[in-house]
């Protein structure tokens, strides 16, 4: 019985973190997305470990890659990992599937959110993210091998 509640709890957490396929109006989705983004940023900051800082500059704590830094500051790491599938696909899998010519299309998908390319779990929209920042993030993702 405990196992069933554990699995149910994990499922609810995953769906909540990635939008859960809600049928709310677009305005509610935008507000919800902003709130989810803020919570995820706080969670990412609290969970920052030395494993997340591999390859950083020891003086500044930054990686020197704008896209990677933007992803670390956003909620991306809540659903994505560099090497393995979490809720969303692994960054290496994204890099294998897409080309540099797909940067603008992918950046627009990051901003708009959606589902279907990697399964049924929707990616949360990021309407407050600028197109230029989204492009930097996508450029970084496409370099992860």
Check the annotation: does 123 bind a ligand.
yes
Where does residue 56 fall: left (phi above 0), alpha (psi -120 to 50 degrees), or beta otherwise? beta
Check the annotation: does 76 bind a ligand.
yes
**b/e map of 7-35 (b: 16 or more CB within 10 Å)?**
eeeeeeeeeebbbbeeeeeeeebeebbee
pTM of the predicted structure, to 2 decimals: 0.58
**Going residue by residue through the chain (145 aa), what tens digit of pLDDT does each one get?**
445 444 544 544 444 454 544 444 444 444 444 444 433 443 343 344 333 333 334 344 445 699 999 999 999 999 999 999 999 999 999 999 999 999 999 999 999 998 988 989 999 999 999 999 999 999 999 999 8
How far CA 84 is from CA of 1, 14, 63, 79, 132, in Å, comes to: 29, 16, 21, 10, 26
Domains and CATH numbers, the chain: 2-141 (1.10.760.10)
SS3 85: strand
- Burial classification of residue 56, based on how many CB atoms lie within 10 Å of its CB (0-12 exposed, 13-18 middle, 19 or more buried): middle
């Amino acid at each position: 019985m405990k196992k069933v509640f554990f699995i149910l709890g994990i499922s609810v957490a995953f769906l909540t973190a990635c939008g859960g396929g809600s049928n709310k109006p677009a305005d509610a989705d935008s507000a919800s997305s902003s709130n989810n983004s803020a919570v995820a940023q706080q969670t990412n900051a609290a969970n920052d470990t030395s494993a997340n800082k591999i390859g950083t500059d020891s003086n500044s704590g930054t990686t020197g890659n704008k896209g990677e830094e933007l992803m670390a500051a956003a909620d991306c790491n809540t659903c994505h990992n560099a090497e393995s599938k979490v809720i969303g696909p692994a960054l290496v899998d994204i890099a294998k599937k897409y080309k540099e010519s797909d940067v603008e299309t992918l950046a627009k998908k990051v901003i708009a959110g959606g589902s279907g390319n990697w399964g049924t779990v929707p990616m949360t929209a990021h309407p407050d993210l600028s197109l230029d920042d989204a492009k930097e993030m996508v450029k970084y993702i496409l370099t992860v091998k």
